[in-house]
Amino acid sequence: MSDPTSAVILTTEPKPIEGPVTPGAPHGRERTASLWADARRQLIRRPTFVIPSLFVLTIVSMAVFPSLWTSQDPHKCDVSLTRQLPSSGHIFGFDVLGCDYFSEAIHGARPSLEIAVFSTIGIVVVGSIFGLLAGFFGGWVDSIISRVTDIFLGLPFLLGAIVFLVVIKKQNVWTITAILVILGWTTVARVLRGSVISSKNLDYVQAAKAMGASNVRLMTKHILPNAVAPVVVLATIALGSFVAAEATLSFLGVGLIPPQVSWGIMIASNQDYYDQYPLLLVFPCLFLVGTVLSFVLIGDALRDALDPKLR
């Protein structure tokens, strides 16, 4: 399994200015505003963006406000109810320990999304810093960062995560997040580096430089806003990839462990009962696949909306 964000390819040529120019507005800011405004108008008309977004919002509400969805405690179990089928009061039935399965599925959304969100923020921050520095300064700075990136790219993503988690022997949200960030920032760095290289020689950047703008201002105010679009797409797809990564690691026994609840743990705990009670695997798999697919569809829609060549 490779880096979960490595399959995204996005062109980053700046979009020409459309419509009237706002007096007094910086050239780069006009282009950025136009790009995002056009993308927003296009996205709200696409069912492949709206429907997955609604599904993700539903999952987020489960993670943030589980009491809105269930009043059952996922840790309150009764072995006399083990593997009972769904009923009116327990729409997913009970698992092998007699725990309410719907409650487990609802509460399992939180750790999965926590790991996905924190890992995505981590790879965006780390990857953006390295990519911005490498693309802007070039030379020996670019060479050193590129070689470090190559080293981390040489580590197999899933195998590396398993090895690190086995070595540190601490399996919680923060350790898993740290490992995913360490192994996953490289693609963001490379994509942003290419975007920065394409943007730093544009006329409005050179004009700002001639007017005495500092390197920090050039990077943060003029280059980054026009180079960040592919990173947004990468981050969206990475959210789904990290949800799947957490479930995979938990399924293999090196991720979250009971009494923590997650979709990966639910799948791992009930895989031996698939022949007699297939719903014990179907329900968490539906949540997992639906969430991952929704993030991928949102990312594809964003890529199409933010890429001028696909207009």
The closest alpha carbon to 179, from 237, 110, 248, belongs to 248
| SS3 state of residue 189 | helix
Q: Does any domain span residue 106? A: yes
- In this predicted structure, the answer to whether residue 246 has a pLDDT above a threshold of 70 is yes
| Predicted local distance difference test score (pLDDT) of residue 309 | 60
> What residue type is assigned to position 108 of the chain?
G
Q: Taking 80 as the threshold, does the pLDDT of residue 78 lie above it?
A: no
pLDDT for residue 13: 43
Model confidence at 14: pLDDT above 70 = no
pLDDT of the residue at 21: 39
Evaluate if residue 171 carries a pLDDT over 50: yes
Instruction: For tokens 């797809």, name the residue.
Output: 237
Question: Are the C-beta atoms of residues 261 and 250 closer than 8 Å to each other?
Answer: no
Closest CA to 303 of 118, 48, 122: 48
Residue 203 belongs to some domain of the structure: yes
pLDDT at 18: 40
In a domain? residue 222: yes
Residues 108-130, mean pLDDT to the nearest whole number? 94
Upper half-sphere CA count for residue 57 (Cβ side, 13 Å):
6
Query: Mean per-residue pLDDT for 197-225?
Result: 84
Measuring CA to CA, which residue among 289, 187, 306 is closest to residue 238?
187
Q: What's the CATH number where 34 sits? A: 1.10.3720.10
Give the DSSP letter of residue 172.
Answer: S
pLDDT at 310: 54
Q: Is residue 9 part of a domain?
A: no
Cα dist. 255→109, 113, 177 in Å? 15, 14, 10
Rama region for 140: left / alpha / beta (φ>0; ψ in -120 to 50; rest): alpha
Question: Alpha carbon of 251 to those of 60, 152, 283: distances in Å?
Answer: 22, 25, 15
Average pLDDT of the segment spanning 169-196: 91
Residue 11, domain member (yes or no)? no
> 305 falls in which pLDDT band (50, 70, 90)?
confident
What confidence tier does 227 reach under pLDDT thresholds 50, 70, 90? confident
Whole-number average pLDDT of the chain: 83
pLDDT at 183 over 90: yes
- Confidence label for 85 from pLDDT (cuts 50, 70 and 90): confident
CB atoms within 10 A of CB 311: 11
Residue 35: predicted pLDDT: 66
* Contact present, 17 and 31 (Cβ < 8 Å): yes
Asked whether 263 and 288 are in contact (CB, 8 A), the reply is yes
HEC readout, 288-303: HHHHHHHHHHHHHHHH
Query: For 177-183, what is the mean pLDDT?
Result: 94
pLDDT confidence bin for 8, thresholds 50/70/90: very low
Output DSSP code: residue 77: B
- In the DSSP assignment, the letter for residue 4 is T
Between CA 267 and CA 281 the distance in angstroms is: 6
Question: pLDDT grade, residue 22 (50/70/90)?
Answer: very low
Q: Looking at residue 89, what is its pLDDT? A: 75
Instruction: Select from 15, 39, 38, 37 the least CA-distant residue to 27.
Output: 15
**10 part of a folded domain:** no
Count up the domains in the chain and report the number. 1
Cis, peptide link before residue 259, omega less than 30° from 0: yes
Residues of the domain holding 200: 27-310
Burial of residue 216, with CB atoms counted within 10 A of its CB: 0-12 exposed, 13-18 middle, 19 or more buried:
exposed
Better-predicted residue by pLDDT, 34 or 197: 197
**Helix ranges (DSSP H) in 185-262:** 186-199, 203-210, 215-217, 224-227, 229-251
Closest CA to 305 of 123, 45, 128, 6: 45
User: 13 in a domain, yes or no?
Assistant: no
Examine residue 158 and state whether it is found in any structural domain, yes or no.
yes
